[in-house]
Structure 1
Amino acid sequence: MTILRRVPSLLAVLVVALVGVAVAPGAASAAARDGACDSGEFCYYYNSNQAGSISDFTDSLDDYGTTQPSCYEFKGAGAGKGLCVKNNAASVWNRTGKTVRVYFNSNFAGASQDFAAGAKGNLNATLKNNNASHELLSGPTGCSTDGTNSKLPTTILVYRVSLGRVDRVDFKTYVKNVLPNEWITSWPKASLEAGAMAVKSYGWYWALHSTRKTSGGQCYDVRDDTGDQVYRPSSAQASTSSAVDSTWSARLTRSGNILQAHYCATTTACGGWVDGDWLSQYGSRDLANAGNGYQTILRHYYRDVAIS
């Protein structure tokens, strides 16, 4: 494959020499692993402060290899040239348009460090000379969300309390794996749809507003237990997922802002329910059994809301 790619380049040089046409510098080699840190590439450096030999990449890579001649090596001039890049890098320059995450382990696992688009930096004490894979990230990173009061977030930060970590979870996946743990899956469709709206609205609100952090300093939007909503991966059920799907395009707002929708189990009293901010789960079942749709159920409990 390498020989086939190089032949056109050689022919191009011969043609240029014959006709005297200038070639834009770097245009043909910008995407090649050539030991130069070109625009669009993520680059490792053998030494700190972007010094020493360079190893340049144009995409994510889950394993660099550990031995020559099969490993990805430092190719540029300077200290470290020819060495495998795995567990040998000290600094980076991210010239891609995305955040790049460097991992301690192969297959995008273990401790990690993020480098924003355009950033130069040294690998931290954990990852210096302990870099095994890197990933170009799409969507929000760090503590940020891409959601607004009119646009669903694509992800939500979930504090996995018993595991002591924070996971960034696809937002629809999150809602589908909360609803069956908060509502009875055999309840009428309208009750499940009202629940889907409440669960989504509660999570959406906190994705926009949370400033909470774990004891270790990691930001999160919601806990995975009864401190917020019970989230259990792979717990989605057909009836509750259908309710999520059928209401996914609807918003529950008050004065244009996503409602911080509270709910509780009892049919007679919820803390704050009289203020129009709480929905009764069993009450939603009873109203659904009486023939009411999910929008009527929501308006019965939440005061001055718009469903759009």
Structure 2
Amino acid sequence: MSERTKIGGEAADELTDHRPPALVEAMGRTARAEETGTSLWVGALRRLVRNPSAIVGAIIVAAFLVVALFAPLLAPYAPSDPRWASQVTPSSVPPFSAEHPLGLDSFGSDLLTQLIYGARQSLVIGVVSTTLGLLGGALLGGIAGAFGGWVDTAVMRVVDILLSIPALLLAVSVAAVLGRNPYALMIAIAVAQVPIFARLLRGSMLSQRRQDYVLASTSIGLRQRTIVMNHVLPNSLGPVIVQATLVLATAIIEVAALSYLGLGDPNPTVAEWGRMLVRAQTRLESAPHLTLLPGACIAITALGFTLLGEALREALDPKSRR
């Protein structure tokens, strides 16, 4: 090896040693990413598996889904079965027993059965209303983010009007106009969620349109519609999906709130956690478990969706990746 080659190698090593630590770390992360070749969602899944909050949230959500989907198999009796109504008095309800592990409610129905079927009602209304809100918000946000200009201004002013009204008040107003039925409940909650998804998708699309790949696609002659539908929109859906998980927790609480206010399903045989809270008001002192149990179900279910949604948001956030 010549003397010049040696000097060149030593100079290169010295230059390498004086590189900033942040640059070295970034280059290492890039090299590892290139070696593994994992996609965004695969990498997010791996980070979720290592996140304790995500695991706890996933367990709670999975238990809620199992109870809701297999309610007829898990419930010991039919919902709102009145055969034990004679055992209930104005001052007391029967305590826990082997036949009724959680006792009876104020109308003589098995409380465990009511809680199990209440999970199914909350799941159906929460999922359907969140899906409708997601579709409506994605439509408005997609139009605003795709066209821009006066279209963006007009759409977002409508969204701002909806945002100026508190979500629960907006849902109550819509439910009161449409009447007392489960479909009105779903639409009411969905309308309150539309502006959330619209603003989020529009902001995400505007951010994506400033990326280099959009400029490159335009420079090679791709049409604007092709760029938006095939590149910008798919890359903007990550935050919206995460928000849907978080909003689902809010939807379950709003279902209970509207039922508590008397705007839920008018059918008295339909079990629902919010309605169970209403029924238990008169027995708060003598039988507090009639209030605490459905309230705990609402709180734990909302906590599960919130933990899972926050963990998913962190896993998909480029700034929080390790």
**TM bucket, shorter chain:** under 0.3
Structure with bigger RCO (C-alpha 8 Å, 6+ apart): 2
Q: Higher helix fraction: Structure 1 or Structure 2? A: 2
Q: Higher strand fraction: Structure 1 or Structure 2? A: 1
